[in-house]
Amino acid sequence: MGTIGAMSGVVGSVAGVLPSTLGGVGGVKPEEVIDRLTERITDRLRNELKVELQRESESLAAQQGALDTFLVKELESQNTCPVCYELMVPPQHAPMMLFPCGHSFCGRCLEQHIDRNKKTQCPICRKKIESRAPNYSLQQLIQQVVAKKESSGRAAPSGPLSPGSPGRRMLDGAGVEDGLEPCSNTDRVRRQYDRAATRMRVLRNELADTAIEEDGLNGKVAAAAAVAGHLQEEEQVVLRRLAAVQAELDLVREQLAQQGSKVADLVRQAEAVRQRRELLQVSGGVGGTR
Asked whether residue 168 carries a pLDDT value surpassing 60, the answer given is no
- pLDDT confidence of 68, banded at 50, 70, 90? low
Q: Report which residue type is found at 278.
A: E
Q: Which one is predicted more confidently, 19 or 260?
A: 260
From 94, 106, 177, 171, select the one nearest 140 (Cα to Cα).
94
Cα–Cα distance, 72 to 93 (Å, whole number): 18
User: pLDDT by residue (tens digit) across 205-239?
Assistant: 888 888 888 998 999 999 999 999 999 999 999 99
User: pLDDT by residue (tens digit) across 116-140?
Assistant: 878 888 988 989 999 999 999 888 9
CATH of domain 68-157+164-229: 3.30.40.10
Say which range, 14-23, 151-160, 203-212, has the weakest mean pLDDT. 14-23
Residues, the chain: 290
What mean pLDDT value characterizes the chain? Answer: 78
pLDDT on residue 50: 87
Say which range, 85-94, 96-105, 242-251, 268-277, has the weakest mean pLDDT. 85-94
**Residues 6 or more apart from 109 whose CB is under 8 A from it?**
81, 83, 84, 123
Q: What percent of the chain has pLDDT over 90?
A: 30
| Beta-ladder partners of 133 | 97
ω into 163 cis (within 30 of 0): no
pLDDT on residue 232: 94
Q: Per DSSP, which regions of the chain are E strands?
A: 95-99, 104-106, 131-134
pTM of the model as a whole: 0.43
Q: Which one is predicted more confidently, 150 or 232?
A: 232
- pLDDT confidence of 72, banded at 50, 70, 90? low
pLDDT on residue 158: 41
pLDDT on residue 44: 87
From 182, 160, 157, select the one nearest 172 (Cα to Cα).
182
CA atoms within 13 A on the CB side of 54: 6
- pLDDT confidence of 27, banded at 50, 70, 90? low
Say which range, 41-45, 73-77, 155-159, has the weakest mean pLDDT. 155-159
Asked whether residue 97 carries a pLDDT value surpassing 60, the answer given is yes
CB 105 within 8 A of CB 85: no
Q: Where are the domains of the chain?
A: 2-59, 68-157+164-229
